[in-house]
Amino acid sequence: MSTLASAPTTPPAPTAGRLTEWRPEDPAFWAAGGARVARRNLYVSIFAEHVGFSVWSLWSVTVLFLGPEYGIDPAGKFLLTAVPAALGAVLRLPYTLAVARFGGRNWTIVSALLLLVPAVPMAVLIEPGVSYATLMVLACLSGVGGGNFASSMANINLFFPERLKGRALGLNAGGGNLGVPAVQLVGLAVLATAGAAYPRLVPAVYLPLIVLAALAAARWLDNVPGARNEPGALRAAARDPHTWVMSLLYVGTFGSFIGFGFAFGQVLQLQFHERFPTPVDAAWLTFLGPLIGSLIRPVGGQLADRLGGARVTFWNFVAMAAGAGLVLYAARDRSFPLYLAGFLALFVFSGIGNGSTYKMIPAIFRARAVAEGELTGDPEAAQRRARRLSGAVIGIAGAVGASGGVLVNVAFRQSFLTSGTADAAYLAFIGWYALCFLVTWVVYLRPGPRTLTNV
């Protein structure tokens, strides 16, 4: 979605925030200091994005503190975990565009400080007697943390040469995703020490970390000179059918990861209340799934490199459907070991799928560019168009995919409201994953003259 202007051949400035040029594809420039500058920006970006993801995930922990004295039923709690996912999804696209518009360093400072908007009132207002409307507003505001992922990925994408982008973006994404289990571990520590009467301590822990993230961005990040949003790229991507196919698949992978990460603690308490009578009992397991899903995300990208993104994504969705089927069987059979195994499998394969679907997007447009270049006789122009479109599609798919977190929580809410169990939600997940692996097969794997190769 952004490109870099050309500049004279001088090494990058040693002082953060003062870059006058940036040419990562130039080996001499990269060796003369570019690599060091890029790594510095990556490390700070990972930390800032990690804090943003943690704030986005605050309500996956906070709902465990909301006991009978708050007067909120399970359906109301699922809404409290759905609205942050909704705002986070909406903000992903404008946050992506903001990097080139305002500068990566500048926007990281602003986006980090915006995390104080939900965190400060949460640390002050959450106590018995607070209105449900107030809690809904606070939960919605924490969605600002969901936009930080998109702007962080767009910013780091500018710093690394093509041959190193995959590893850098994988580290950035994985470090950010770890914010989900991290905030749940913070919640567990608060529950185990101070007890369920002090939910405000969880956001309070993040107040100094938010300030530190903004200060670190101001001190060590850079604005990439010449970065700009590609004119017309979003419109062109929105007209491309591959954009919406990949968005559907990303709903199934990232949407499942963030949705299950937000809902897992509540579902454990509702499905196996006799085993998890208190929030601290559930919190011991809540962080496990998001932790595994975050750590395994790079594996999906590596498998896609070796075996092909579409093939990995297809079998991954088959495995996710099987995992959801195991969870459904275990819930009906009241078998907690099988239930936990099935849910952890869902986190594992949602993490792998995050990596493989992300790798499919540039591969799709590279494959199409090869055919276009042969037809037009200008392969270089076809490759430029492919890079332009793939960047825009990544932004759109990331925004649409995050909405899956809303759908997961709404599915659980409606299932418990109508039947008192989550069975209908699990059936819906199985159906969605089946749709995803069928679409992957039909569009990218089915033999035929119009099927793209090497996707």
Cβ pair 247, 265 in contact under 8 A? no
- 116 shares a domain with 239: no
The pLDDT value recorded for residue 443 is 93
- 234 shares a domain with 378: yes
Cβ pair 59, 139 in contact under 8 A? yes
Whole-number Å distance between alpha carbons of 198 and 190: 8
- 358 shares a domain with 339: yes
- 276 belongs to a structural domain: yes
229: left (phi over 0), alpha (psi -120 to 50) or beta: beta
- 395 shares a domain with 295: yes
Cβ pair 330, 342 in contact under 8 A? yes
The pLDDT value recorded for residue 244 is 94
In sequence order, what DSSP letters do the residues of 353-393 get, joined into one string? HHHHHHHHHHHHHHHHHHHHHHHHS-HHHHHHHHHHHHHHH
pLDDT tens for each residue of the chain, 455 residues long: 544 444 445 556 555 557 888 989 899 999 998 999 999 999 999 999 999 999 999 999 999 899 899 999 989 999 999 999 999 999 998 998 899 889 999 999 999 999 999 999 999 999 999 999 999 999 999 999 999 988 998 898 889 887 887 778 888 888 888 999 999 999 989 988 888 889 999 999 999 999 999 999 999 999 998 878 777 888 888 899 999 999 999 999 999 999 999 999 889 888 888 888 877 777 788 888 899 988 888 888 888 888 888 999 999 999 999 999 999 999 999 999 999 999 999 999 999 998 888 888 888 888 888 777 766 777 777 777 777 787 788 888 888 998 999 999 999 999 999 988 999 999 999 999 999 999 999 999 998 877 787 78
Per-residue DSSP letter, 220: H
Structure tokens at 65: 């503190």
Domain boundaries, position 124: 34-229
- 431 shares a domain with 330: yes
Whole-number Å distance between alpha carbons of 65 and 334: 25
The pLDDT value recorded for residue 344 is 94
The pLDDT value recorded for residue 416 is 92
End position of a domain, from candidates 181, 214, 229:
229
Whole-number Å distance between alpha carbons of 54 and 336: 28
Structure tokens at 204: 């309070």
- 282 shares a domain with 223: no
**What are the residues whose beta carbons fall under 8 Å from the beta carbon of 271, sequence distance 6 or more?**
331, 339, 421, 422
Cβ pair 299, 348 in contact under 8 A? no
Whole-number Å distance between alpha carbons of 91 and 439: 27
Tell me which residue of 160, 178, 152 sits closest to 91, measured CA to CA. Answer: 152
3-class secondary structure, 3: strand
CA atoms within 13 A on the CB side of 75: 8
Tell me which residue of 412, 296, 413 sits closest to 350, measured CA to CA. Answer: 296
- 133 shares a domain with 264: no
- 285 shares a domain with 263: yes
The tally of domains found in the chain comes to 2
- 390 shares a domain with 250: yes
The pLDDT value recorded for residue 6 is 43
Cβ pair 22, 224 in contact under 8 A? yes
- 290 shares a domain with 409: yes
Whole-number Å distance between alpha carbons of 204 and 283: 18
Whole-number Å distance between alpha carbons of 319 and 311: 12
- 264 shares a domain with 137: no
Whole-number Å distance between alpha carbons of 438 and 428: 15
User: Residues of 109-127 as b/e, b for ≥16 C-beta within 10 angstroms?
Assistant: bebbebbbebbebbbeebe
Whole-number Å distance between alpha carbons of 263 and 255: 12
Neighbours of 247 (CB within 10 A): 20
The pLDDT value recorded for residue 13 is 55
- 318 shares a domain with 425: yes
Q: How far is CA 366 from CA 159, 308, 357, 363, 445, in A?
A: 21, 13, 15, 5, 16
